[in-house]
Amino acid sequence: MDQGEGASGRIDPELLGLRDSIDNVDAALIHLLAERFKFTKRVGEFKATHGMPPADLAREAEQIARLRALAKAAKLDPDFAEKFLAFIVQEVIRHHEAIKIDG
Amino acid sequence: MDQGEGASGRIDPELLGLRDSIDNVDAALIHLLAERFKFTKRVGEFKATHGMPPADLAREAEQIARLRALAKAAKLDPDFAEKFLAFIVQEVIRHHEAIKIDG
């Protein structure tokens, strides 16, 4: 049968190779995200200590513009890069709210 | 004033250093995501050529379990890792739909 996965459940080597690459990229993404949340946790603590508000619209606008430019250069949809940042920032805010509740 | 950002707009070196690290991580994330979409584009093309359905629930379940384990080891919230994968897969499906419309 002309399918990536045979009746025996064996996967075509080309598809398997692509999936292995995706898995490698995903492992790298997870570890970078873990590191990113360590940094944003420290930012949250810094801001709490110095009486700064959690949100900083000027900084966020800079981040969006920078990520859109990086995405464009890497041939990634800039709209997706912006949505991605919003997705991450949403989680950061959730963490910062948790810090406030804990403290 | 005891704020991370002075009246002159100068940012505290500690906060600046953390933001620089976040920016570096974000640049890495964007480039990895660009690479990931290149791989999933090839998977989409492979599946289209071989008459395979775009979704593969067994593969997705494996990915979720693997990412949750990796997240746990990296001290990242496994629920966030799962949400992150869902966010990415949503975009992959959007790309695959676009391929189908184009083709």
Candidates B3, B19, B22; nearest CB to A52: B3
In terms of Cβ atoms closer than 10 Å to its own Cβ (0-12, 13-18, 19+), residue A40 is: buried
Mutate to test the interface with B, among A41, A76, A90, A97 (most CBs of B within 10 A): A76
Other Cβ atoms within 10 Å of B49 Cβ, number: 10
| Among A15, A95, A101, A79, CA closest to B40 | A15
> Mean pLDDT throughout A15-26?
98
pLDDT band at A10 (very low <50, low <70, confident <90, very high): confident
3-state secondary structure of A23: helix
Chain B residues with CB-CB distance to A76 below 8 A: 30, 33-34, 37
Q: Residues of chain A with pLDDT > 70: what percent?
A: 86
The interface predicted TM-score (ipTM) is 0.88
> Mean pLDDT throughout A42-66?
93
* A92 or A32, greater pLDDT: A32
**Between A and B, how many residue pairs show a Cβ–Cβ distance under 8 A?**
133
Each residue of B45-98: pLDDT tens digit?
999 999 998 888 999 999 999 999 999 999 999 999 999 999 999 998 888 777
Q: What counts of helices (H) and strands (E) characterise chain B?
A: 3, 0
Q: Do A36 and B29 touch (CB under 8 A)?
A: yes
Each residue of B17-44: pLDDT tens digit?
999 999 999 999 999 999 999 999 999 9
Chain B residues with CB-CB distance to A2 below 8 A: 50-51
| Residue A82: closest C-alpha in chain B | B30
Chain B residues with CB-CB distance to A22 below 8 A: 36, 39-40, 43
| Residue B50: closest C-alpha in chain A | A3
Q: Do A25 and B2 touch (CB under 8 A)?
A: no
E-only strand ranges, A23-86: none
The answer to whether the beta carbons of residues B28 and A46 sit under 8 Å apart is: no
Q: How far apart are CA B36 and CA A76, in angstroms?
A: 10
pTM over 0.80: yes
